[in-house]
Amino acid sequence: MTFVALPMAAFAKQRPVPPDKCALKKEFVRYSSEPRTLEFDEQGWKVRWHDGDDVRPWPALKAIHNLKSLLVLSTETTPYWLPKAALKREGQLERLWDQAKAALRSGNLLFTVPACPSAFSYAAAMLAHNLRRARTTRLIAYCTVMLMVYWFGFSNPEYPKAGPIWLILLVPVVLALFEGLYYVRGYFQTYRRKVSPRAEIMSDGIGYETDTVSWIVKYRRFTEVREIPGALLLYINPQTFYLLSKRGFSKEQLGRFKELLFANMEQMRTLENTTR
């Protein structure tokens, strides 16, 4: 029954949880319902409201969300929700959009490569990441299942032996295979549709773009790099990473990219050590 339940669980479709509209409305009234005005030029943008002026230079911009009724400018810490209707009424929507896109692409563009990895690379990356994050828990779980298989398949005299006892060693392999199938399912159902198809390798970071979001990740934000067959895992923190395919890189491009990446990461570590 266990081996039947594992593949069924791997391919079961989860139902999305609807948002709590009452909680969202209360949050809007509390934090975002006050009248605000926006000013912007070639240097940056300013949002004016009752608490004062919030001034941001364009280099602080890290993402643009092009939603149905909103244009959202995001820094590393703060999103700015701008209604498109008001911007269109003032004739400023296209100008603001062009200025924001130019700010995101302010770094020197070196080359563009496909960003989406293969299903195998995605599954391998998720397996490697989760194994590292919960190594002890996974080891205990694997040992528990192996003991259960041994008890029911080899040591209980009421049941015939399932085969040579060394077959128990295949239990972790089978469990990892089912887990990999679960990640492959997630790759085709959600990941491939949401991930940026291309990565713009720039002198100071990596630019991504989907149908609704454009964003840049500076090299200095990465804290660790892990390499697996076909892809790079670029860690921002121990729980979050960007998965970048290596398929579109030439040998020279991959070497140049790693050189820029490690140089910026080393500069950031040096700066953090000097400020402690």
104-140: pLDDT as tens digits: 887 789 999 999 999 999 999 998 898 887 767 777 7
Question: Does the structure show a pLDDT above 60 at 141?
Answer: yes
The answer to whether 133 and 238 are in contact (CB under 8 A) is yes
Range with top average pLDDT, 48-52, 53-57, 133-137? 53-57
Cα–Cα dist 274/276, whole Å: 6
Cα–Cα dist 124/231, whole Å: 9
Cα–Cα dist 269/219, whole Å: 12
pTM of the model: 0.76
Give the residues across from 49 on adjacent strands.
52
Secondary structure of residue 121 in the 3-state scheme: helix
Cα–Cα dist 73/46, whole Å: 12
In Å, what is the CA distance from 18 to each residue of 29, 47, 77, 78, 190?
20, 32, 26, 25, 17
Question: Does the structure show a pLDDT above 60 at 7?
Answer: no
- 102-116, 161-175, 231-245: lowest mean pLDDT where? 161-175
Which residues, 6 or more positions from 113, have their beta carbon under 8 angstroms from its beta carbon? Answer: 198, 199, 201, 245, 247, 248, 249, 253
Q: Looking at residue 218, what is its pLDDT?
A: 92
Give the residues across from 80 on adjacent strands.
73
pLDDT confidence tier of residue 170, bands split at 50, 70 and 90? confident
Which two structure tokens, joined as six digits, stand for 146?
């192996």
Q: Looking at residue 137, what is its pLDDT?
A: 77
Cα–Cα dist 216/197, whole Å: 14
Pick from 219, 226, 247: nearest CA to 131:
226
Sheet holding 37-40, edge to edge: 37-40, 44-49, 52-57
Opening angle at CA 64, ends 61 and 68, nearest 5:
155
Question: Does the structure show a pLDDT above 70 at 70?
Answer: yes
Cα–Cα dist 128/230, whole Å: 13
The answer to whether 175 and 145 are in contact (CB under 8 A) is yes
How far is the first Cα of the chain from the last one, in angstroms, to the nearest whole number? 56
- 73-82, 157-166, 189-198, 228-237: lowest mean pLDDT where? 157-166
Go through the chain and tell me how many residues it has: 276
pLDDT confidence tier of residue 160, bands split at 50, 70 and 90? low
Question: Does the structure show a pLDDT above 80 at 143?
Answer: no
Domains of the chain: residue spans and CATH: 30-106 (2.30.29), 110-117+197-274 (2.30.29.30), 119-193 (no CATH)
164 Cα distance to chain centroid: 43
